[in-house]
Chain A
């Protein structure tokens, strides 16, 4: 933002002060994440910068914590990663299907009590996780699904659907319903219309909802803390356990991998959002 030449000096000062403040806030937002990256390459077993690291001496850096993460003895990360991926995969499929179908109904002009239904379907996102965790734990224990993959998948479907409902209803607000009517008038049945016309158009919204559901499940720790057993441990559980004991460089290595993953997800979500806006003809 450049200022016009006629700007008075006091506004100039104000303008640069403002930009400095913004810079500091952005720094506050993003800098904490980047402290983790160098520490995961630490050659020593401390969570602070060694003198060698600060001098950029190659001897101060190593990949030993990544090795420890992958090959370490009695390492829990392999099992945890497998569980996390399996659970997140099925939870994403469940949330995406249930959420998309519900969003189609909610976006219909004819839907009665729309606001009330919406409020209920979104509530798992609003209710504090500790309460959801407690309630879901009692339920799963009652039906015998505590400490099972199925139980955790079901719990994560509950937590993931609100995100799918929100993103897909948002996509559907710009949806031109005359195209589905056109398809129907040409003799297509509703399922065919959905698969061939509606779904391709709302697909970016559906996928970004699915990404949300995936991340929700993959990062979720509170509910899993109640539900997980030894065999159903997940990455967040292992991080939680590790962080409660002490900060270790191995955790920094895992955290770095997770940051890389979230960067990839962020990029795909952004690309999808733009594609969706283009498909719906929203230009900004």
Chain B
């Protein structure tokens, strides 16, 4: 058999020519995706990476106390350190005093151990009277805390460039004086409750969305087009309406003098002067979020149910199954992909919800996003906000990954 090569018109072997064309097409596709990809890398992926970096970055204080941290590294943390540490501390503090920047280290050290604020302020004030040599004694004379090893241990603990202390704080843990991980004091354990509440609300919102969405999706999928199009508006209009408008309508409904409370009083379930609080607690968050996220459950369920042939149910019934059995054994299993898609979508959206809990949730109905916003805007502990954000992000991306495996991103349907 002859193995004469087939040549394409430009004289190259066909195989080479095809591969070349294939590569050209591949590059063309990449070239089209390129602009958006680069745009997102620069303005989105990189900033998120930067946020992660910020949550573990502790170099600011290292830059301000460079000599002290170098000297204290050699100390074993048992008895009081020797003269070199105090000499280095004097050098650093003198520089900070001269540049008037010592205020910045106070907050950071106070976070490590309370009491640093007055300690640093008093020391800096007296710094001018220090004489050369024998710094250890002079420091202890200024403030007796310089002679207590706990404070120097705290100083040593603040030395590393990178820290995961903010992550520990996010789950109510902290470093103690010996660098061991311990629980926060009882009255400061607030984040675990918050994480649990967020998960609980997201879970129940997902369950209730499913319970409410399943029957109406079935109705929408089985009704004749002209009726179902009309009913579809009930799903799509809230979907297209501003989130703030929908939240404000819940604020109107749930307020003390609002229609729902009027109804409760009219039905005699509560006295007029003792109207139940429906808003500014977890009930408000839960009810409003369920209604707002419901369309995200209906749409995937509907698009799956639309593809199920009604003859399958009929076949099941004709073979002797009751409608209930036919539904349970035939219809329901076929809708599982839709249930998965809808549930994951609703759960992902619910876990990061911010606006609705902030407006109708009050203190007891706020979720983890609200705490992140609080640390971003009010307490200005940005690295802690970044740490909480990173923890939330890891959770969401895990679910996103599962979603991608189970449903496929390209199967997301909109409207």
Known: A32-B250, A131-B389, A266-B237. A221 touches B244 (CB 8 A): yes
Contact A118 B409 (CB under 8 A): yes
* B376: A residues at CB distance < 8 A: 134, 137, 226
Complex: A259 Cα to B237 Cα, angstroms? 9
* A1: B residues at CB distance < 8 A: 222-223
Contact B242 A219 (CB under 8 A): yes
| Cβ-based interface call for B182 (8 A) | no
| Shortest beta-carbon distance from A267 to chain B in Å | 9
Residue of A nearest to B214 (CB): A25
Contact B26 A127 (CB under 8 A): no
* B348: A residues at CB distance < 8 A: 126
* B236: A residues at CB distance < 8 A: 266, 269-270
Contact B30 A105 (CB under 8 A): yes
Contact A258 B241 (CB under 8 A): yes
Mark out the residues of chain A between 231 and 250 whose CB falls within 8 Å of any chain B CB in the assembled complex: 236, 239-240, 243-244, 247
The stretch that binds B, out of A58-66, A72-80, A95-103, A178-186, is A95-103
Complex: A42 Cα to B253 Cα, angstroms? 16
Contact A119 B43 (CB under 8 A): no
| Cβ-based interface call for B130 (8 A) | no
| Cβ-based interface call for A251 (8 A) | yes
Known: A105-B32, A212-B414, A263-B237. A110 touches B26 (CB 8 A): yes
| Shortest beta-carbon distance from B84 to chain A in Å | 38
Residue of B nearest to A106 (CB): B33
Residue of A nearest to B229 (CB): A270
Known: A102-B36, A119-B409, A128-B369. A32 touches B251 (CB 8 A): no
Which listed residue (B32, B37, B352) contacts A131, Cβ 8 A?
B352
* B33: A residues at CB distance < 8 A: 101-102, 105-106, 111, 117, 121
Contact A25 B212 (CB under 8 A): yes
Contact B410 A112 (CB under 8 A): no
Chain B positions 196 through 235: 1 when the CB is less than 8 Å from some CB of chain A, otherwise 0: 0000000000000000110110010011010001010111
* A138: B residues at CB distance < 8 A: 47, 50-51, 54, 382
Complex: A243 Cα to B50 Cα, angstroms? 33
Mark out the residues of chain B between 38 and 65 whose CB falls within 8 Å of any chain A CB in the assembled complex: 39-40, 43-48, 50-51, 54
Known: A29-B235, A138-B50. A121 touches B244 (CB 8 A): no
| Cβ-based interface call for B110 (8 A) | no
Residue of B nearest to A218 (CB): B242
| Cβ-based interface call for A222 (8 A) | yes
Complex: A112 Cα to B255 Cα, angstroms? 54
| Cβ-based interface call for A152 (8 A) | no
* B258: A residues at CB distance < 8 A: 47-48
Known: A30-B234, A166-B412, A270-B236. A132 touches B44 (CB 8 A): yes
Complex: A21 Cα to B382 Cα, angstroms? 47
Which listed residue (A11, A47, A106, A169) contacts B255, Cβ 8 A?
A47
| Shortest beta-carbon distance from B310 to chain A in Å | 12
Complex: A30 Cα to B240 Cα, angstroms? 12
* A120: B residues at CB distance < 8 A: 37, 40, 45
Contact A266 B32 (CB under 8 A): no
* A247: B residues at CB distance < 8 A: 248, 251-252, 255
B interface SS class: helix
Contact A128 B392 (CB under 8 A): yes
| Cβ-based interface call for A93 (8 A) | no
Complex: A284 Cα to B220 Cα, angstroms? 14
Mark out the residues of chain A between 103 and 142 whose CB falls within 8 Å of any chain B CB in the assembled complex: 104-106, 108-112, 115, 117-124, 126-132, 134-139, 142
| Cβ-based interface call for A70 (8 A) | no
Residue of B nearest to A48 (CB): B257
Residue picked from A22, A49, A117, most chain B C-beta under 10 Å: A22
Complex: A170 Cα to B222 Cα, angstroms? 23
* B250: A residues at CB distance < 8 A: 32
* A81: B residues at CB distance < 8 A: none
Chain B positions 119 through 163: 1 when the CB is less than 8 Å from some CB of chain A, otherwise 0: 000000000000000000000000000000000000000000000
| Cβ-based interface call for B415 (8 A) | yes
Residue of A nearest to B242 (CB): A219
* A86: B residues at CB distance < 8 A: none
| Shortest beta-carbon distance from B366 to chain A in Å | 12
| Shortest beta-carbon distance from A53 to chain B in Å | 12
Chain A positions 14 through 49: 1 when the CB is less than 8 Å from some CB of chain B, otherwise 0: 000011011001101110110110010000000111
Q: Which residues of B line the A interface, CB within 8 A?
A: 22, 25-26, 28-37, 39-40, 43-48, 50-51, 54, 212-213, 215-216, 219, 222-223, 225, 229, 231, 233-238, 240-253, 255, 257-259, 291, 294-295, 323, 348, 351-355, 359, 369, 372-373, 376-377, 382, 385-386, 389, 392-393, 396-397, 400, 404, 408-410, 412-415
Q: Which residues of A line the B interface, CB within 8 A?
A: 1, 11, 18-19, 21-22, 25-26, 28-30, 32-33, 35-36, 39, 47-49, 98-99, 101-102, 104-106, 108-112, 115, 117-124, 126-132, 134-139, 142, 154-155, 157-158, 161, 163, 165-167, 169-170, 208, 212, 215, 218-219, 221-222, 225-226, 236, 239-240, 243-244, 247, 251-252, 255, 258-259, 262-263, 265-266, 269-270, 273, 284
- The 7 tightest CB contacts between A and B, nearest first, are A128-B352, A105-B32, A139-B47, A105-B33, A110-B25, A108-B29, A102-B36
With A21-B215, A130-B372 given, can you name 18 additional A-B contacts, CB distance below 8 Å?
Answer: A11-B323, A29-B294, A33-B237, A98-B35, A101-B35, A102-B35, A105-B31, A112-B26, A120-B45, A135-B44, A158-B43, A221-B355, A225-B377, A243-B251, A255-B244, A255-B248, A266-B236, A270-B415
